[in-house]
Structure 1
Amino acid sequence: MTVAGLAPAMLVGCAVHDSPRSAAYVPVPQQVVPVPAPPPAPTPPPPEAPAGLLSVITDLERRFDGVVGIAVNSVDDGWKIAANGDRRLPQQSVSKLWVAMTVLDYRDQGRLSLDDPYTVTKADLTVFHQPIATLIGDDGYPTTIRELLRRAMTSSDNTCNDILLRYVGGPEAVRDFIARKGLGAIRFGPGERLLQAGTAGLEWRQEYAEGRAFYRARAALPSAVRLAAFDGYIADPPDGATASAIAGALAKLKRGELLSPDSTDWLISTMESSRTGRNRLRGAVPAGWSFGHKTGTGQDFSGRTAGYNDVGILTAPDGKTYTVAVLIGDTARTIRQRQELMQAVVASVVANHR
């Protein structure tokens, strides 16, 4: 047999031998065994507040003749106490806190400097407490954003506050800050001029900013008009906030969750140098403790006051910190009785400190 005759058989043999390698490869599916997910970690129980403090705070709110909200938060231990703490009550000048925080937030973003210059003129004047008005001459009063902020926080100057409010873009800028930072049930009103005019039953005119013009215009209104405006404001305050939300916001501020460390320190130290409300919460702060706060006081009508407030950050000698908010939304109690309520809240926090 010739070699040529063997060739076809050898080729066929080779072809049969190689055919499995040339066929398409089909992988065998692997069996997947599901791995059970680990159970979720148990939610830790909420921190327990001192029972004695809860009892006192609840009793103080229940026995007070008027509408009041009280809240106390422990910044370090995390517990919270409130009595009528979820009802929105008039803030009045407590709302200057949110303007100040918005200004400092803009500073942290590089959108302004506290050294920015500003000249205050008579066109900037608002109503009620505005001590800066005495400094405005024919050419105005040259100052800085830092000084305006300091005056708004330590002297509760309405004109300084409204200048700052306009400087950051108006009420919407402050409302945006409150929303972005998750501060909860805190409203921000339209600014001092419109808020106070509306509470009185007036429409704002800039002429009301001079001297006693606002008081004269308010006194000329019929009592029924004033009462309707006054009651309407209390029932649904455009600057309303809950005591719990304010105490929570101050706790966030103290923990450094709202502003840069430098802005946080600046604001708290400025609050500690406040000259308003010495006989409110501050009246019961013992020696060795530090306290930074912001007061708020509304208009009076027929023996009632729409908003008599104080909120702040209370720090013990050992460094433990509490935030306190007392909002009196409507009462005919005397000033002294209101102050005694506030001081009793601070005294109970101090007595239960551990």
Structure 2
Amino acid sequence: MRFFALLCWLALFGAQPALAASSPRLVPLERQLAWLTAGQSSDVGIAALDLRTGELVAVRGDEPFPMASTVKIAVAANYLAQVEHGRRSLDDTISGRSARSLMEAMIIRSDNHATDVLMRDLGGPSTLQAWLDQNQITGLRIDRNIAQLLSARRDLRDRRDSSTPTAMVGLLQRIDSGQLLKPASKNYLLGLMARCQTGKNRIRGMLPFGTRVENKTGTLNGLTTDVGFITLPDGRRVAVALFARYGANRPNTIAQAARAIYDGFAGWLRGGYTPAFGAQ
């Protein structure tokens, strides 16, 4: 089985010359992720960006995947940008609830109704897309609200409501760097993401105990996603986007990839393809 997986990895590595680490020190991580995804029955898209050095590693990084509930990061960022411009307030009452409580429900518990209430207040999917376009965020598109997405006939290769892994880490980088949000708004959003209660067996699943993670998960039938920030032992932070479509054991695949990213950016991978997934 491992021999077959290695053959798959070699075929994948040869067929995708765009898969390349931006630094020689990340070559072991590049190989680890290629080996890991080649051995899975699911389609896996990965991007990881060191927010300090700008080093990027990606596997199928330019392929669109459905965002599912990870789109809620964009909804939150757009609403907070409106707050900064004085057009809205977290204390506003919308459909009988404060915007603050809706925001918390959306990010922490992934409440779909809260998301659609905020999205409607912002002007709907087209307004959100216009905000992304205005800020030159490409590779990420918002076409429907959550209710429309869930009620539609599902095709996991539909480019509507999708993002590439590299586009998603680009959005995260723009949020983190202050290009989209001021420090107070950014810290508020990251604080909510740090309290994420869903999908604890994904990015968080195999990381060392106490690792700081700020994330948002997404789930559809046949799709498992998780995106956010991982803090390394030296204080560096890595923006990650992990998408797994079809196949089995998708949360475990995401957890393994997140651990490989943690070890690789921390400099703990020194070659070879044996995952260091034992320590948790």
Same fold (TM over 0.5): yes
The one-letter amino acid paired with 1:269 is G
Contact 1:61–1:84, Cα closer than 8 Å, also in 2 = no
Tell me if the contact between 1:148 and 1:161 (Cα under 8 Å) persists in the aligned partners.
yes
1:327 to 221, 225, 243: 243
2:131 maps to 177
* Pairing of 1:1-354 with structure 2 (within 5 A): 47-48=23-24, 50-119=26-95, 142-199=96-153, 230=154, 233-299=155-221, 305=222, 307-329=223-245, 331-333=246-248, 337-352=249-264, 353-354=266-267
Residue 260 of structure 1, CA deviation? 1.0
Q: How many residues align?
A: 245
In structure 1, the gaps of 5 or more residues are 1-45, 120-141, 200-229, 300-304
Tell me, in whole angstroms, the C-alpha distance in 1 between the residues paired with 2:114 and 2:72.
Answer: 10
The question of whether the paired residues in 2 share the 8 Å contact of 1:48 and 1:79 is answered with no
User: Which structure has the larger Rg over C-alpha atoms?
Assistant: 1
1:180 Cα deviation after fit: 2.0
Task: Tell me the TM-score normalised to structure 1 length.
Answer: 0.66
Aligned counterparts of 1:84 and 1:283: Cα–Cα separation in 2: 22
State the Cα deviation string for residues 74-111 of structure 1 (Å, max 9, x = none): 11111101111111111111111111111011111111
Q: Percent identity?
A: 29
Q: CA deviation at 1:237?
A: 3.3
Contact 1:58 1:83 in 2 (8 A): yes
Provide the rounded CA distance (Å) in 2 between the counterparts of 1:317 and 1:64.
Answer: 29
TM-score of the pair, normalised by structure 2: 0.83
Question: For the residues of structure 1 that align with 2:28 and 2:104, how far apart are their CA atoms?
Answer: 37
How far apart, CA to CA, are the structure 1 residues paired with 2:33 and 2:169? 14
Unaligned runs of 5+ in 2: 1-21, 268-280
1:305-339: CA deviation from partner (whole Å, max 9, x where unpaired): 1x21111101123210001111113x131xxx212
- The Cα offsets for residues 101-144 of structure 1, whole Å up to 9 and x where unpaired, read as 1101111111100011123xxxxxxxxxxxxxxxxxxxxxx420
Is the 8 Å Cα contact of residues 243 and 254 (structure 2) preserved in structure 1? no
Distance in 2 (CA, whole Å) between partners of 1:318 and 1:149 is 31
Per-residue CA deviations over 1:162-210 (Å, capped at 9, x if unaligned) read 00001111111210221122222001121012211212xxxxxxxxxxx
Q: Match for residue 11 of structure 2?
A: none
**Aligned letter for 2:228?**
G
